[in-house]
Structure formats: C-alpha cells, structure tokens
C-alpha cells in the first residue's frame, strides 16, 4: 500500500495537538485555582491554603513544562508539515499567533519562575501578583489561539487575492462568530478539568492514607466548583451547538448522523453510523429530539449529510466523539452533585464514593479530547471552513521521512504520558513529611483539622 503523505501528516498533527491539549487544559484552569488558594491564604492566614498552593504548584509546573514543549513542537509543525497554510493564511494567522507569543508566552514563562522559586525571594504580595500574571498569561494564550482556531471554523473579515488571504476587518476576525462560544466553553472545560483532577488526586490520597493538611479542603473546593460549573458548561455547550448549526451545518449533521435533510429529526442516542449504506445501524432514536435540541422547535428542519456530498467529515468518528463528550459531562454532573450532597449531609465522603471519584481525575481529559475531536475532525475536509482544503496546504515530504518522525513522536508521547501519570501517582502517594510541614508551613504533622472526624474511624 502506498502511504499518503497527506494522511501521515494529518495523523502526526492530530497526535501532536491531542497530546498538547491535555496539558493546557489543566494549566489554564489550575492557575486560577492556585490564585484562589493564594488569596485565601493572604486573607485568612490559614496555612492549609498555603500548603494547598505549594503542593499543587508542583503539579502545575510539571504540567506546564509538558505544555510548553509540546506547544513548541506545534509552532514548528505549521511550517514543517503545512507550509501552504501560512503561505495562504499567514496574513491572518500570523498576527494572532504573534500576539499570543508577545502577550502570553513570555509573561507566563517568566513569572512562573517567581511562582516556583520566589517564595523566599519576594513578598507574599509580589508572589500573589506573579501567580495572577501567570493565570492571565495562560488565559491570554487561550484567547489568541482560540481566536485563530475559531476563525478557521467560521472565517470572516477577509478577502482572497490570487489565492492569498488578506485581512479586511481585524475586529471581525478576532471576535469571529464562533469565538465567544468556543472561548467560554474551553475556559469552563479547563476549570472543570483541573477541578476534577484536584478532586481525583485528593480522593486518591485519602484512599491511600497519604492525605495531608489540605486534602479535605481541596476536596471541598474542587467538588463545589465542579458542581457549579458542570451545569453552566452544559448550557454553554448547547449554545455553542446552536452556533455551529448556523455556521457549520455539515459538522452538526455528522455529530448527529443525520443522513437526509428532514423536519422533526430524531435524536440518535447510540448507533453505528455506516458511510457505505448512508444509514445508522442498530440506532436507538428519540423521535423529534434532535430538531427540538438544535432548533428549539419540534418540527425544525435540520440539514442532512446529503447536502454536503464529498465535503463532510468522517461521520462515525465525529458522532462517537460527541457522545463520549456528552456522556462524560453527564457523569461529571452526577459525581459532583453526589459529592456535594454527601459533604452537606454527612460532612464527609464515603469510601465507595472516593473510589469512584479517584478515576474521575482524568474525566476532564477525556471530555476535552473528545470535544476537540468533534470540532477539529468535524471541520474536515477543510482547514479553513468552506474556503481552504487541508490537502491543498500539506508539504510533500517522502513518506519514509514522515513515518520516521511520526513513529518517533508517538513513542515519545506515549513515554511522556506514562511518566506524567507515574509522577502524579508518586507525588500523591507521598505523605507529606512532618519536618517540611513544621518548618515550612508551621503546621503540626497531626494537624489535620480539616479532616472530618468520621474519616478517622474507618
């Protein structure tokens, strides 16, 4: 079989971007949590908050480093694998990426040094400001890159001369139609990812009896945040879907596997979309539900895949990614509400619940990955929706070179992922040393006042 450089480059970019998003999706949200811990400490003087900060800043640093190195790889791959993209769209993508480097990358990378190593070198206030600047930096970074990504999904404010894109309206480009929805959806997603990671790892610590003075504090903060944010995310996700229907109907048709345009379209709960026969096998459908959800009318018309022959994304992948994301969202809602209920009524969490919560530490990752797969694979075959096809911008490298680099990346990413999860496990199974607690935080090693009494009896 002849290996297609286009397919190889796509797999490589997909692998890279999927690996990369894991880490920013934690750091963007986690940094705001860290800022919250810092402010709480400065306000209350309660050392548990400071301990919470410094135990999570380690995980933040590790995650941030992985985000940086995988991000640098991406910035090079635009040129090494997709040179046509910058040649055609450089006038628009360039400034957006440039502002990301200038307003975000330097700020976060520079002040991170103070966050990690500046505790004894600067005042508490400067340290808090440094944390704030890193949080702002990561959020700015998300702002610019999501603006560019959204523009690729819903391009406006440009004209094409001789195949090259020129900007005509920068405001329209930056705040393009899908951007406000994607930005909100992603920021909440990141807060949720980090909330569940904090909750999951804290649950793991309690189960392994390596909990420290902040573990229960962290459990409460993260579960309450998750319980509040998950419903909000569902509403924002719904609005984002309506926006997608308006601007990218082919993506919606693939997400819902609507083969023919119809009024009062049913919602397919699950099934196996089959592109050969253009039907969904073994489908379980709820009559009229898709029209109701997407048009908010019982007999609303939904455009089907028949309107986009040869120009719609692979159906099964988008269909299933969407269901994984939504399913994960429902699970997050359930778990966070049960947790808050238990904390409210029983002031503690049961062992069974903690065992369910621990693996939910990675629920945000699964939802974020599935969500990005929906939106990115759902854009295919376009790189700029409706205007520029991905296959027209790819570099024509020999397949052997691409196979080599792809294999290398996959091996490296696999290795790093294992190492990352191993390090998380190592850090969370290490009970805090009492010497550190006493000297650095003025806490007694038995100072687990935040630990509920019932927990001690188990």
Partner 1 sequence: MEQFLPIAFMLVMGLALLIYVLLDGYDLGVGALLPLATDDEKDLMIASIGPFWDANETWIVLGVGVLLIAFPAAHGVILTALYIPITIMLFGLILRGVAFDFRVKAGDIHKARWNRLFFLGSVIASGSQGWMLGSYITGLQSGLTNTLFSFLIALTLPALYVILGASWLMMKTEGALFDKAIKWAQAAIIPMGVGLLLVSIATPIVSQSIADKWFVLPNAIGLMPIPLSCMVVYAGLLWILRRPDLLARGYAWTVFAGLVLICLMASLGLAYSLFPYIVIDQLTIWEAAAATESLQLIFYGVAITLPAIIGYTIFIYKIFHGKASELSYE
Give the binding site for partner 1 (CB under 8 A).
Answer: 58, 61-62, 64-66, 68-70, 72-73, 75-76, 78-80, 83-84, 86-87, 90-92, 94-95, 97-99, 101-103, 105-107, 109-114, 116-119, 121-122, 164, 166-167, 170, 395, 397, 401, 405, 408, 412, 416, 419, 422-423, 426-427, 440
Tell me the three state secondary structure of residue 433.
coil
For residue 293, the minimal CB distance to partner 1 (Å) is 40
CB of 29 to partner 1, least distance (A): 19
Cβ-based nearer residue to partner 1, 39 or 116:
116
Query: Taking the complex as a whole, how short is the minimal distance between the CB of residue 110 and partner 1, in angstroms?
Result: 4
Nearer to partner 1, 68 or 290 (CB): 68
- Contact between residue 189 and residue 209 where contact means Cβ atoms under 8 Å apart: no
Rounded CA-CA distance 49/67 in Å is 26
Q: How far is the CB of 204 from partner 1 (least distance, A)?
A: 16
Report DSSP state, residue 398: -
Structure tokens belonging to residue 170:
């920068």
Structure tokens at 128: 């808090």
Q: Which is nearer to partner 1, 425 or 444 (CB)?
A: 425
Compare residues 11 and 167 and give the one whose CB is closer to partner 1.
167
Q: Which CB, 164 or 330, lies closer to partner 1?
A: 164
C-alpha–C-alpha distance, residues 135 and 141, integer Å: 10
Within a 13 Å sphere around the CA of 349, how many CA atoms are in the beta-carbon half? 29
Nearer to partner 1, 20 or 247 (CB): 20
CB 149 to partner 1: min, Å: 16
Q: How far is the CB of 387 from partner 1 (least distance, A)?
A: 17
**By C-beta, is 425 or 454 nearer to partner 1?**
425
**The two three-digit tokens of residue 136, written as one number:** 């702002």
**Beta carbon nearer to partner 1, 69 or 284:** 69
**Distance between CA atoms of residues 405 and 312, nearest Å:** 29
Cβ-based nearer residue to partner 1, 158 or 320: 158
Smallest distance from partner 1 to CB 25, Å: 17
Tell me if 317 sits within 8 A of 275, measured CB to CB: no
Nearer Cβ to partner 1 (101/239): 101
Q: Cβ closer to partner 1: 69 or 232?
A: 69
Backbone angles phi, psi at 279, to 5 degrees: -140, 165
Are 157 and 171 in contact, with CB atoms under 8 Å apart? yes
Q: How far is the CB of 61 from partner 1 (least distance, A)?
A: 6
Q: What is the dihedral of CA 385, 322, 257, 286, to 10 degrees?
A: -140
- Eight-state DSSP code of residue 102: I
For 61, 198, 199, 223, 237, the CA distances from 360, given in Å and listed in that order, are 22, 10, 8, 11, 20
> b/e string for 337-353 if b means 16 or more Cβ within 10 A?
ebbbebbeeeebbeeeb
The DSSP bridge partners found for residue 357 are: none
| DSSP calls for 43-95 | HH--HHHHHHHHHHHHHHHHHHHHHHHHHHHHHHHHHHH-HHHHHHHHHHHHH
Rounded to the nearest whole angstrom, what is the least distance from the CB of residue 111 to partner 1 in the complex? 8
In the bound complex, what is the minimum distance in angstroms from residue 58's beta carbon to partner 1?
6
Closest CA to 182 of 204, 159, 151, 212: 151
Nearer to partner 1, 197 or 290 (CB): 197
Minimum distance between the CB of residue 444 and partner 1, rounded to whole angstroms?
20
Least separation in angstroms between CB 138 and partner 1 = 13
Q: Using alpha carbons only, what angle is made at residue 227 by residues 144 and 128, rounded to the nearest 5 degrees?
A: 55
Q: What is each CA distance from 22 to 223, 288, 381, 419, in whole angstroms? A: 21, 36, 24, 14
Element (H or E) spanning 110, and its range?
helix 106-117
């Amino acid at each position: 079989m002849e290996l297609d450089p286009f397919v190889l480059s796509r797999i490589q970019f997909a692998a890279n971007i999927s690996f990369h998003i894991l880490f920013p999706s934690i750091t963007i949200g986690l940094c705001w949590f860290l800022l919250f811990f810092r402010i709480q400490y400065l306000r209350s003087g309660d050392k548990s908050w400071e301990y919470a900060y410094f135990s999570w800043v380690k995980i933040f640093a590790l995650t941030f480093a992985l985000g940086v190195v995988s991000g640098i790889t991406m910035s090079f791959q635009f040129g090494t694998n997709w040179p046509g993209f910058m040649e055609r769209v450089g006038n628009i993508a360039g400034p957006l990426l440039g502002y990301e480097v200038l307003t975000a990358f330097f700020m976060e990378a520079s002040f991170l040094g103070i966050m990690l190593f500046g505790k004894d070198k600067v005042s508490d206030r400067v340290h808090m400001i440094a944390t704030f600047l890193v949080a702002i930096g990561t959020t700015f970074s998300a702002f610019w890159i999501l603006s560019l990504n959204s523009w690729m999904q819903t391009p406006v404010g440009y004209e094409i001369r001789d195949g090259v894109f020129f900007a005509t309206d920068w405001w329209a480009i930056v705040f393009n139609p899908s951007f406000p929805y994607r930005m909100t959806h992603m920021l909440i997603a990141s807060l949720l990812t980090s909330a569940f990671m904090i909750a999951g790892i804290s649950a793991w610590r309690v189960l392994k009896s390596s909990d420290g003075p902040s573990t229960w504090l962290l459990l409460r903060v993260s579960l309450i945040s998750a319980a509040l944010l998950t419903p909000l995310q569902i509403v924002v996700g719904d609005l984002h879907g309506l926006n997608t229907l308006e601007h990218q109907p082919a993506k919606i048709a693939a997400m819902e596997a609507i083969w023919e345009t119809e009024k009062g379209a049913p919602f397919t709960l699950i099934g196996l979309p089959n592109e050969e026969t253009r039907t969904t096998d073994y489908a379980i459908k709820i009559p009229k539900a898709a029209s109701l959800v997407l048009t908010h009318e019982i007999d609303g018309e939904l455009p089907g895949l028949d309107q986009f022959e040869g120009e719609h994304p692979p159906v099964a992948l988008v269909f299933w990614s969407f269901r994984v994301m939504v399913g994960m969202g429902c699970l997050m809602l359930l778990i966070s509400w049960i947790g808050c209920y238990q904390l409210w009524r029983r002031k503690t969490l049961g062992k069974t619940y903690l065992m369910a919560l621990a693996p939910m530490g990675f629920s945000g990752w699964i939802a974020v990955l599935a969500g990005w797969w929906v939106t990115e694979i759902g854009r295919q075959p376009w790189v700029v929706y409706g205007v520029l096809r991905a296959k027209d911008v790819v570099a024509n490298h020999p397949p052997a070179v691409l196979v080599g680099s792809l294999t290398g990346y996959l091996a490296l990413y696999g290795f790093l992922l294992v190492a990352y999860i191993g390090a998380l496990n190592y850090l969370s199974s290490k009970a805090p040393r009492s010497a550190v607690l006493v000297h650095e935080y003025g806490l007694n090693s038995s100072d687990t006042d935040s630990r509920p009494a019932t927990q001690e009896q188990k």
